[in-house]
Amino acid sequence: MLKGWLQSTFEVEFPADSADGFLFKVRVDGKWRRRTMRQHDPESVAASYVIDKVCGLAIGHSVLAATALERQASACLGGGANVKGLGTRVVQARVYIEVDPEIRSEAYTLMRLRARAKTELEDRQLRIAQAVALRDLLREDPTLALTHLLLEAPEKVDMQTLKGTIKTIGELVSANSPGGTWVKTAQLLERSFGGLPDDAKQAIIDRICKTLTEFGQRGVAEQIEESYKWR
């Protein structure tokens, strides 16, 4: 019986998909050994085994990481392995990985584009977060708009800004806030309340506080009473 019928070497070349959608060029040199006489094509078994192993590793690597893949695959296959159920042992295998220069260049370009897109997305998210934070602050105190203008564009702050813009900003922010209907109602009450005589103001305050107390808001009622003491 010829020795080559029991064990021999093999060589296989094949492409493998990378994690970023490109292809590695793979070549594997190895040695197989037949473990049962019922297996009539141990070379194909060995080749199929290493193809599956290398492709499984390649899909987790960028095409720009060919060296890392080559070392990992060679380490995985270098110690040999029995191919379960197929009567063949891969005695050893050495993996060689290549990448076409054009593919490598395309991969570098794609990497730069993705990095730029990620940076732009992060910048947009930051600007949105800053806008939301500013909006929330303006809801609490619309005069912060003046501070913002002074910091960002002091040349745009003039008397017209001081007279009307800040008030307009406050009204717009309040009107578009959650519960904006209640905010508008409060603004109407505030504008109409100021022109009433003191006894009418007192009557309104008394009724508001009485209603709040009836609905379990005694603490709020007391705060209102304290705030509107004019006698």
Amino acid at 165: T
Whether residue 189 is contained in a domain is answered as no
Q: Mean pLDDT across the chain, nearest whole number? A: 79
- Same-domain check for residues 41 and 93: yes
Q: What is the pTM of this model?
A: 0.54
What pLDDT, on a 0 to 100 scale, did the predictor assign at position 1?
A: 43
Does 44 lie in the same domain as 33?
A: yes
Residue numbers of the domain that contains 224? 194-231
- Shared-domain flag, residues 72 and 86: yes
pLDDT above 80 (res 165) = no
Q: How many domains would you assign to the chain?
A: 3
Residues 132 and 217 in one domain: no
**What gap in Å lies between CA 128 and CA 151, rounded to an integer?**
19
* Interatomic CA distance for residues 183 and 181, integer angstroms: 5
- Judge contact between 51 and 12, C-beta under 8 A: yes
Strand partners, 31: 9, 92
CATH of the domain at 68: 3.30.479.30
Average pLDDT of the segment spanning 35-51: 86
Q: What is the mean pLDDT of residues 21-42?
A: 87
* pLDDT tens figures, 177-190: 555 555 555 555 66
Cβ atoms of 9 and 29 within 8 Å: the answer is yes
Q: What's at 71, amino acid-wise?
A: R
Name the residue with higher pLDDT: 222 or 27. 27
Query: Which of 99, 134, 157 represents a domain boundary (last residue)?
Result: 99
Q: Are residues 8 and 94 part of one domain?
A: yes
Per-residue pLDDT at 40: 79
pLDDT digits (tens, 9 = 90+) for 77-97: 888 888 887 888 888 899 999
139 assigned to some structural domain: yes
- Band of pLDDT at residue 153, cut at 50, 70 and 90: low
